[in-house]
Amino acid sequence: MTRVAVVGGGLAGISAALACADGGAQVTLLESRGWLGGATFSVERDGLVLDNGQHVFLRCCTAYRDFLDRLGVSSDATLQQRLDIVVLAPGGRASRLRRDGLPAPFQLARSIAGFGPLRRRDRVRLGPAILALRRLRLDDPSLDGTTFASWLAEHGQSPESIAALWDLITLPTVNLPAREASLALAAKVFKTGLLEETDAADVGYSRVPLRQLHGEAATKALAAAGVETHLRAKVGAIGTAGRVAWQGGSVDADAVIVAVPHEDAIELLPPGALPAGVDLSRLGASPILNLHVVYDRRVTEHAFAAGVHSPVQWVFDRTESSGLRDGQCLAVSLSGALAYADRSVEELRAEFVPALADLFPDARAAEVVSFFVTREPRATFCGVPGTAAHRPGPRTLLPGLFLAGAWTDTGWPATMEGAVRSGVAAATAALGAGSIPTELAA
């Protein structure tokens, strides 16, 4: 029986471990933290359970949806029957991006024709840009040589159009605004999510805390699959003959899957593991902040909404999942949040409480009971032009050593979908691998 050690218990590591176990391997999973789920977890504050970030998925995220099925928790997530995004501007003015039954890429045409945040001339210019975007080939390496905003400007898109429409999608998926995001990553999002299949962009998200959806469910699924899981097991070395050691133990494996953030992989991977020219430090990091605002009353009936002409990007009603009994709990998700990364809680509160009141008029008379910030300074790699060359695939140059993580070459930005795909790809490679040679250095 093949023995596999998986280092890292995020979505990539969980996916890899389950796929290896399902393939008949004997699997040991090692996670340095005290929980499974990696960058998707929950914290407790003032009796409430709050997610560290508001993670969403789309109908086209087939690997992630299969992952939820494998964990047995698909019923704990909701997925729209039809894409419908409420877009709010200051003053409470609402527009909608809602798809109809027309085939892609025309399913949003009627909605965009009346989209309030765009001027008429900008709406007219959208069509040619959308068709040009659809013609791009995702396997064209030149796409990673320019920013999405530069390409949009060349195709008639104004700065106002980019801010009011294109960045509504680019920011939460690439975790960067269009002016910084690689065209390759943004094109993947738009082509796969909006331009090829009519229903691909229907939005889904968890109805329960992420620690329940991912961490607790994974713990049960891994145990049922026979995976030996060790928490608080920080790996210090990948040694000779596939020996993986941590404080308090070690395991000998035929194959090792390293499924940790790329910053940690830099320290963990043995010399000679990566191809020449691949420099994981060049991937950088892009932060995400979430602001958890608890009001003494309901201020909106929207399950989620996007903001335009506002510092508020996306806001979700997390009242039920947080366990709040009276009032309302809103989670404001700020992607590509470098400008806010070092702001104090007081500074963030001073800016965003009035901004929320501008979008939700009922919030003006409400009292803010609590305001809590969760910060992920290394939420994703920084998907700027030039990063594609530094995203390795699942195989390293050392036999028996494999990579997984949303930062690897999945073809996707750093998303939950990319993380799960990477784990499955690494498991597929590992199950066909031979034993690790004794010369593999620690």
Report the pLDDT averaged over residues 87-115: 95
Q: Do residues 368 and 403 touch, judged by C-beta distance below 8 A?
A: no
Residue with tokens 């959208």: 126
126 pLDDT exceeds 50? yes
Q: Do residues 125 and 343 touch, judged by C-beta distance below 8 A?
A: no
Burial (CB < 10 A; 0-12, 13-18, 19+), residue 135, is exposed
129 pLDDT exceeds 70? yes
Lowest mean per-residue pLDDT among 189-198, 227-236, 239-248: 239-248
**Same domain? 289 vs 158:** no
Decide if 436 is inside a domain. no
- pLDDT above 90 covers what percent of the chain? 95
Decide if 236 is inside a domain. yes
**Same domain? 290 vs 425:** no
**Residue 433 has what pLDDT?**
52
435 pLDDT exceeds 50? no
Cβ atoms within 10 Å, residue 248: 9
**Same domain? 126 vs 184:** yes
Decide if 127 is inside a domain. yes
What range does the domain containing 166 cover? 100-195
pLDDT tens per residue across span 339-366: 999 999 999 999 999 999 999 999 999 9
Decide if 437 is inside a domain. no
40 pLDDT exceeds 50? yes
pLDDT band, residue 240 (cuts 50/70/90): low
- CATH number for the domain that contains residue 252: 3.50.50.60
pTM metric for this prediction: 0.95
**Residue 329 has what pLDDT?**
98
**Same domain? 303 vs 346:** yes
Pairwise CA distance, residues 324 & 294, whole Å: 9
**Same domain? 405 vs 318:** no
Report the pLDDT averaged over residues 137-147: 98
pLDDT tens per residue across span 77-89: 999 999 999 999 9
pLDDT tens per residue across span 41-54: 999 999 999 999 99
> What is the DSSP secondary structure assignment for residue 315, as one 8-state letter?
E
**Residue 432 has what pLDDT?**
86
**Same domain? 45 vs 105:** no
149 pLDDT exceeds 50? yes
Decide if 132 is inside a domain. yes
214 pLDDT exceeds 80? yes
Decide if 346 is inside a domain. yes
143 pLDDT exceeds 80? yes
Structural domain count of the chain = 3
pLDDT band, residue 242 (cuts 50/70/90): confident
**Residue 1 has what pLDDT?**
83
**Same domain? 12 vs 126:** no
**Same domain? 265 vs 291:** no
Mean of the per-residue pLDDT values of the chain: 95
39 pLDDT exceeds 80? yes
- CATH number for the domain that contains residue 121: 1.10.405
**Same domain? 404 vs 364:** no
Measured in whole angstroms, the distance separating CA 349 from the mean position of its chain's CA atoms is 25
Report the pLDDT averaged over residues 9-36: 98
**Same domain? 271 vs 407:** yes
Instruction: Examine the fold and report which residue of 363, 380, 397 is the final residue of a domain before the chain moves on.
Output: 380
Pairwise CA distance, residues 369 & 329, whole Å: 10
- CATH number for the domain that contains residue 58: 3.90.660.20
Q: Dihedral sign, CA of 168, 173, 175, 177? A: negative
Decide if 441 is inside a domain. no
- pLDDT above 70 covers what percent of the chain? 97
The torsion angles phi and psi of 328, rounded to 5 degrees, stand at -145, 140
Decide if 225 is inside a domain. no
**Same domain? 370 vs 294:** yes
**Same domain? 278 vs 391:** yes
